Amino acid sequence: MEVSSGASPRNRGDHSTKDESQDAHLRNFELEPSDSDNSQFRSMNALEILRESVKILRYNLSGFMMIAALLICPVTAVLLSNVLVNQAIVKRLTIRLLLVVKSSGLSLRPFVKRSCQHFAEMGVSLAMCFPLYITFSLLSKAAVVYSVDCTYSRKTFDVSKFCVVIAKIWRRLVSTYVWVSLLIVSCVTLFFVLLLAVCSAFTVIGLASDLIIYAATIAGLGFSVIFANAIIICNVAIVMSVLEDVSGPQAILQSSVLIKGQTQVGLLIFLGSTIGMAFIEGLFEHRVKTLSYGDGSSRLWEGPLLVIMYSFVVLIDSMMTAVFYFSCRSNMEALDGEGHSILETTAVSAEGMHDTTV
């Protein structure tokens, strides 16, 4: 993946006469041509990206299901069950957050208390699950990107070749993931520090507690948009680290440049995935973790079912992010007037890596 060489996937397909039927099937996954003479492909909206992802999933269903079962489901089961979360630590952290919030002038309403408890539990969960994220989760993202790349390259997913590829790109992939994690943590920390500082200033001025809460809510909504953009940039940066020879801050910077003009599409993808994950998390909390009905025997099948559903949403989200990257790269090359396939600079690099293993 680190050396970009060879012909485009279109040309390689013409030379593979023995796989004509497979090539004809895989042509369905190429981006649709635009009316412009300078570009073979056009950018896609969120719905088209979803349809493209479903096409790719149907073509290589066994491969993606193996990725979900071996790499995504274990992390999902641990994340939803909070088996690694120490509730004593969560309780102490919640109390400290409540003290900080109270000192800033906010009244400790039930909503504020629940929010503090949720943030404390989420922070402890992320910290305890970080080893899983940087291994299983990161491997699953790389495997999904590689599988999508193989589909566009008209190749089948090969585990041995993937192991060779991941061994060569693992260092830069981990570097990018660490920088992405630091960026996200820094954004959240900075927001809370500024929010508490502003609330304290409003308290000193003498504003009513209700007005401060309303102002904090509006600030939270504004931050949500900024945070969503940051997540999109970070997700595309990870895809870029798999397909291109970039890592760390450089990948994040190039990712932010790459998605310019396509931010709305990325936001819709992020919104859909977030709603799906939050819905399943709520179901798991109500139906599995909290015994609010019956004798709880349904947990035996509802728990695994919700884990599978959550893992499927994560899988589709990773696939859509990969397709979104290809779409953005295609759009950028069209604007640059290069007039060649998006996959000449990405998927072809995988073939160069594949050839070294033969």
**Model pLDDT, residue 310:** 95
Looking at residue 67, what is its pLDDT? 93
Selection from 253, 205, 267 nearest residue 46 by Cα: 267
pLDDT, residue 339, reads 39
In which residue ranges of the chain is pLDDT below 50?
Answer: 1-41, 337-354, 356-358
pLDDT value for 34: 37
The reply to whether the predicted model has a pTM over 0.85 is: no
Q: How far apart are CA 344 and CA 331, in angstroms?
A: 14
Annotate 189-245 with DSSP letters as a single string.
Answer: HHHHHHHHHHHHHHHHHT--HHHHHHHHHHHHHHHHHHHHHHHHHHHHHHHHHHHSS
Chain position carrying tokens 């939270």: 220
93-148: pLDDT as tens digits: 999 888 888 887 777 778 778 888 888 888 898 899 999 999 999 999 999 999 99
Q: Where are the domains of the chain?
A: 36-80+138-357
pLDDT at 43: 67
Task: Write down the pLDDT at residue 213.
Answer: 79
> For position 321, what pLDDT does the model report?
95
Instruction: Give the per-residue pLDDT at 357.
Output: 43
